[in-house]
Amino acid sequence: MKGGTRIQTVLLAVILGTLCCSNAFSQLYPVVGFQIKPIIPSELFSNTSFKGSADNVTFTINPKVGYNFGMIIRKAVYKGISIEGGLTYTQRTYGVSAIDSTGFSTSTQFKLVTYEIPLMALFYIHIAPNDYIDGAFGGSADFFASDVESKSPDGTVDALTKVKYWVLPALNSAVGYEHRTKTSGYFYIGGSYHRMLTNLAYTAITYQRDTKNSYIIEPLAGHYFALDFKYFLPVTQKTVNPEDQNGL
């Protein structure tokens, strides 16, 4: 699928997802919020560097700091249990470097963009009048906009990343702390883990300098750990069923 066609398909899917979420929650008194999630590279969560060699050239792919942001909608289904979904934009960033047997090195980086439609079940522990500990688990459909190509400034290294499929499934888990107010809204801070169920892409790195021509192909897992910051708009009687307020 060509990049332009894939982008149009992704945008159509996002629009349809928005309409579906709106229709599904319109009669269920949703609480609307926003989130931003800095993506932190961590060996503890399989988000590690790759290092390989070919023809006396050492190649490295390093995950770097990325981010996720978007809109989320939450609905209580029972006291202490809610369903949360949304539409988010994710940018993963990777650094690519190569060093040959003479000690010459060069590098570049690329950014892989996805659109996520998550759906999670949330469970709460009430620890104070306005404070909660939240745990969540669920899945996500990840849509990929296009393949990505990047070259080093001197043209020595070329990194071509091809996504495996234009949409892939993933698992989400999260834990955090939430403070709720009636007039200012809800404030949440926590951490989350996004695990792809299959490799999301393959990166082919080509190294060309003088008479040397080397290349290597490496799969990208795409898992990531992130810090979560969420804000939900204030709850009003017009938007939330009073019987559901304790479970939101």
Q: And the tokens for 43?
A: 């060996």
CATH code of the domain containing 138: 2.40.160.20
Please say whether the beta carbons of 17 and 85 come within 8 A. Answer: no
Q: Which helix (H) or strand (E) holds 23?
A: helix 3-25
pLDDT value at residue 184: 92
**Total-model pTM:** 0.81
Q: Which tens digits make up the pLDDT trace of 184-195?
A: 999 999 999 999
With b meaning 16 or more CB within 10 Å and e meaning fewer, what string describes 23-43?
eebeeebbbebebebebbbee
pLDDT value at residue 178: 96
Residue with the two structure tokens 């938007």 = 239
pLDDT value at residue 192: 96
pLDDT in tens, the chain (248 residues): 454 455 555 555 555 554 454 444 444 468 999 999 999 987 776 666 788 888 888 999 999 999 999 999 999 888 889 999 999 999 999 999 999 888 889 999 999 999 999 999 999 999 999 999 999 999 999 998 889 999 999 889 999 999 888 899 999 999 999 999 989 999 999 999 999 999 889 999 999 888 778 889 988 888 999 999 999 998 765 544 443 455 55
pLDDT value at residue 182: 87
Q: And the tokens for 42?
A: 């961590």
* Rounded alpha-carbon distances, angstroms, from residue 248 to 95, 106, 133: 40, 51, 13
Task: Write out the residue range of the structural domain in which residue 44 sits.
Answer: 3-247
Q: And the tokens for 41?
A: 């590279």
Residues ≥6 apart with Cβ < 8 Å to 246: 76, 79, 80
With b meaning 16 or more CB within 10 Å and e meaning fewer, what string describes 149-174?
ebbbeeebbbbbbebeebbbebebeb
pLDDT value at residue 35: 97
pLDDT value at residue 27: 40
Please say whether the beta carbons of 166 and 9 come within 8 A. Answer: yes
Number of domains in the chain: 1
**Longest CA pairwise span in the chain (Å):** 74
